[in-house]
Each structure stands twice: as C-alpha cells, then as structure tokens.
C-alpha cells in the first residue's frame, strides 16, 4: 500500500493508511503496557489531509526532494515494516523507523479513545537513533 494524496478532496479529509500487524501491537504493548485497550491490529491508522502540508515542512531536511517523495508515499510500508520502534516517553506517540540512505521516522499518535493517527515524518540522524536505543526508548524489530 502506498499513500495517495490525490484521494483527498473537500469531502475526503482523511484516509486509512493501514493497520498495525499483530506482532507489532504485541511488541509495543510489551514495552508500554499502558497502551493496552488503546492499540489494536483491527484499528485503521488515519492520515488527515492537513498533515500533508505539515509533513512538507520537513522536505528540506531529507537528502533530496526525490528521497522525501519516495519516503512520503511509502509511509504505510514504513509503519508495516519498521526496522526500529521508538515510544515517546511523554506524548503518547510511537515512531516507526526505517533505515534507508538515512533513517526515516514516521510518528503516529495513540489517543486515549483508541484512535491511531499519523503525525509526521522526518529524517533521524544516526546519533539520535543511537541515543534513543541507549536510553531504552527505541528497539530493533525482528518480527
């Protein structure tokens, strides 16, 4: 599945971009049990139209505009098949990190009502990723 922003219109304000695999849900719950009852492999992750403009603000942070475009359309795939998962300690979000020529982080917000919503995408320096790993905020995924 790829993200297709042409599906947005005045009537279509969001689109589902997939669901978490059960193994990913189990992994997240093993690291943050407080998310029990709030995340599920049955729940769609929603991408709101307004997040396109927000994400565009990070375009120049990537190695190239072409890289940004490639990663952007592959947001659903990054969420489905991350190399790492990071859980923010205070803001109820989970980042799915994929290693390409640079690390790409895709963050989703987990609401108290059980909604999962795309938040942002940005590049992550190796030093940042290593810091998260060293501080037990990020883990490699082997599932």
What span, in angstroms and rounded, lies between the C-alpha atoms of 53 and 85? 25
Look up the pTM and report it. Answer: 0.93
pLDDT value of residue 143: 67
Residue 17: Cβ-neighbour burial (10 angstroms; 0-12, 13-18, 19+) = buried
pLDDT value of residue 8: 87
pLDDT one-digit tens code per residue, 103-137: 999 999 998 888 999 999 999 999 999 999 999 99
pLDDT averaged over 10-residue windows placed end to end, the chain, 143 residues: 86 92 95 92 94 95 96 96 93 94 96 91 96 95 81
Residue 8: strand, helix, or coil: coil
């Amino acid at each position: 599945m790829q993200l297709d922003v042409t599906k947005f219109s005045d009537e279509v304000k969001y689109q589902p971009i997939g669901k978490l695999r059960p193994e990913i849900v189990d992994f997240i719950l093993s690291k943050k049990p407080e998310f029990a009852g709030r995340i599920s492999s049955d729940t769609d992750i929603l991408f709101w139209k307004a997040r396109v403009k927000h994400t565009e603000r990070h375009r120049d942070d990537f190695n190239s505009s072409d890289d940004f475009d490639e990663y952007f359309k592959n947001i659903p795939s990054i969420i489905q098949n991350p190399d790492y998962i990071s859980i923010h300690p205070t803001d109820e979000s989970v980042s799915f990190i994929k290693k390409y020529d640079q690390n790409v982080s895709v963050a989703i917000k987990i609401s108290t009502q059980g909604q999962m919503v795309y938040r942002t995408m940005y590049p992550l320096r190796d030093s940042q990723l290593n810091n998260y790993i060293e501080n037990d905020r990020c883990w490699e995924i082997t599932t």
